[in-house]
Amino acid sequence: MKLRLTLFATFAAMAGALPAHAVVPGFAGNITGGGNATPVVVSTLAQAQTAVNNLSSSGSLVLHYNGTFDEQAILNNICGQWSKPATELSISGKNNITILGLDGSKANFGIRIKGTSNNIIVRNMKIGLLPGGASNGDLIGIEANSHHVWIDHNELYTRNMKCAGTPDDDTTFDGMLDIKNSATFITVSYNYMHDHAKVGLIGSSDTDSAERRVTYAHNRYENLGSRLPFQRFGYVHSYNNYFNNITGSGINPRMGGHILVENNFFENALNPIFSQSTILGQWDLRNNNARSSADNARFNITWTACSGSTPCQKATNWTTTATFPISLPYTYTTYAPEVSKCIALNAAGSGKGLREAVDVLGTCGGGTTNLSVNPTSISLGAAASSSPVAVTANVSWTVTDDQSWITASPTSGANNGSVSVSATANTGTASRSGNVTVSGGGVSRVVGVSQAGTTSTSVVYQTESGTVGGGTVLESSNAGFNGTGYVNASATGGFSQISNVSGLGGGTKTLRIRFALGVTAARTGRLLVNGVASNITFNGTGAWTTWATQNVTVTLNNNSTNTIRFESTGQDLANIDQVEVL
């Protein structure tokens, strides 16, 4: 009876201490994990693994972990950890799971989410000093085809150091939070990640070309070596985070990956944003504390020079290299960078009662006025059109515009609302731009508005001007192509991508694809337009030097923000020469 009362009191105390917030806005969406399933309390890895293994395909699981371990014994021989076997809780092909660490607990094992696992939540866990650095001993690993995962309010730590004799000289500890293969739709929020060398990998190699989508929000990064994250391909959103004492490098997009970096606070950091890759990654920087080279000394931000022959770029001037090319499927609130820092210091990590921004704004001073807009930029076609802007606020606000061809309605509001931004038809050939400003409570938010000029009825893109990977190559050996060559796909995992494709005003459009297929049997692969996939089949043309065209109906965005991608899925595709947008 005493044990039952103790457990009941523990659950009641936990429930009373946890704010009833929804999932943090991010690519994971509003997932539920194990929902209201009766918690299973475990204190060891073996007990946790048994509970996961026993979960049925239609069931749900809530794990409450209350175990601990002797840190000092590990610290006494810290360089003995890397050669030990990795220990981890394996979640493979399981769905609808919440893992919640009870306050005061800590784990010396990792968590690996793999297979087709989805709707997985990991919260309030303190995980550190893991064994198995040389055996893929990640603190948290998300891989294979897992999706819709939320990693929230955890503390992850080891030591930011190197022990002699480790493989590759960098496996004293392995990844802190690695995302690989086709794992996608992941939100990483309010975590305290510290004292570690290799933090976050997205994509295991330059051929791991899946289009992953990951959000990092309100995290606290301190005394870390690199990979914040190390991103290959795909799309990442990093907002309201705090980066301090970064000893090697920070945000590192590669292989054409795009990252939106906004309202973060960086200080005491070496190379906080850079890319060095055969295909450079791109960043869109918005409203971070550092906004020009003059801010580097102010915040003790330093840079090393690029070296070697691989293409390299660094954000030394804190300027955007490419506008983030996709629309975010969620509405979120940003805070001034100094407020983001304060929120992370007061809310991120385990044992904080799962507090979020709204719970600590009183402590964080300037955050009491909340006013944000989404999106912060709008691209319209030449025809007369309009687009909505969501306003998230706790104050009254007014709306103004600075161009006669722009109309914003309504011109005022209070608290949360929406503004319709309209543009008259642009009959000229040149594009034009203006701004809509939403102001309230002493804060102003600007929405940039751009409108395309009247364009020709079609535009042609040569595939050899795009990017390829996964074994797909550029060739020019078969005559009859246009431009300087064509794309020859590999059998599996190959891709060819054309970015910054004009939508000619947007809406339903026709892609005219010019190709050659010198075999009798048709070949099928995947066509992705702005991440939306469909199968595409090419029929034989009789010879590799005989070129034909095929029309495909697609939906494109306004202006030049579209991405067209061909992927091979088990057999070679046709040789693709060009794509024409009609």
Q: What is the pLDDT of residues 303-360, one digit of tens each?
A: 999 999 999 999 999 999 999 999 999 999 999 999 999 999 999 999 999 999 989 9
∠ CA 291-294-295, nearest 5°, is 55
* Residue 284 scores a pLDDT above 90: yes
**Rounded distance, CA 486 to CA 516, Å?**
10
Joined together, the tokens standing for residue 122 give 């990991």
- CB neighbours of residue 41 within 10 Å: 15
pLDDT of 1: 31
149-158, 487-496, 509-518: range with lowest mean pLDDT:
487-496
**Rounded distance, CA 21 to CA 129, Å?**
31
C-beta of residue 197 within 8 angstroms of C-beta of residue 172: yes
C-beta of residue 340 within 8 angstroms of C-beta of residue 218: yes
Integer angstrom CA distances of residue 282 from 90, 254, 518 = 34, 8, 37
pLDDT of 505: 82
**Rounded distance, CA 483 to CA 481, Å?**
7
**Rounded distance, CA 543 to CA 80, Å?**
62
Residue 481 carries which side chain, given as an amino acid letter? F
**Domain ranges (residues) in the chain:** 2-360, 370-451, 459-581
The tens digit of pLDDT for each residue in 12-53 reads 334 333 444 557 999 999 999 999 999 999 999 999 999 999
For range 171-190, the mean pLDDT: 95
pLDDT of 444: 76
* Residue 520 scores a pLDDT above 70: yes
The tens digit of pLDDT for each residue in 436-453 reads 989 876 677 889 999 988
pLDDT of 13: 37
Bigger pLDDT: 372 or 553?
A: 553
Nearest to 48 by CA among 69, 64, 68: 64
| Catalytically annotated residues | 227
- CB neighbours of residue 269 within 10 Å: 26
pLDDT of 88: 97
**Superfamily of chain region 2-360:** Single-stranded right-handed beta-helix, Pectin lyase-like (2.160.20.10)
Q: In what order do the strands lie in the sheet with 371-374?
A: 371-374, 385-393, 417-423, 406-409
Q: What is the DSSP letter of 530?
A: T
pLDDT of 270: 98
Joined together, the tokens standing for residue 304 give 């090393």
For range 503-521, the mean pLDDT: 92
Q: In what order do the strands lie in the sheet with 443-451?
A: 377-380, 443-451, 432-440, 396-401, 412-414
pLDDT of 17: 35
pLDDT of 506: 86
pLDDT of 16: 31
pLDDT of 4: 34
**Rounded distance, CA 380 to CA 425, Å?**
10
Q: How far apart are the first and last CA of the chain?
A: 75
- CB neighbours of residue 570 within 10 Å: 10
CATH architecture for segment(s) 370-451: Sandwich (2.60)
For range 114-135, the mean pLDDT: 96
What's the mean per-residue pLDDT of the chain? 91
* Residue 422 scores a pLDDT above 50: yes
Bridge partners of 155, per DSSP, are 126, 192
Say if 370-451 and 459-581 have the same CATH topology: no
pLDDT of 386: 92
pTM metric for this prediction: 0.65
For range 169-197, the mean pLDDT: 94
What is the number of alpha carbons within 13 Å of residue 514 lying toward its C-beta? 19
Band of residue 171 on the pLDDT scale cut at 50, 70, 90: confident
CATH architecture for segment(s) 459-581: Sandwich (2.60)
For range 58-86, the mean pLDDT: 95
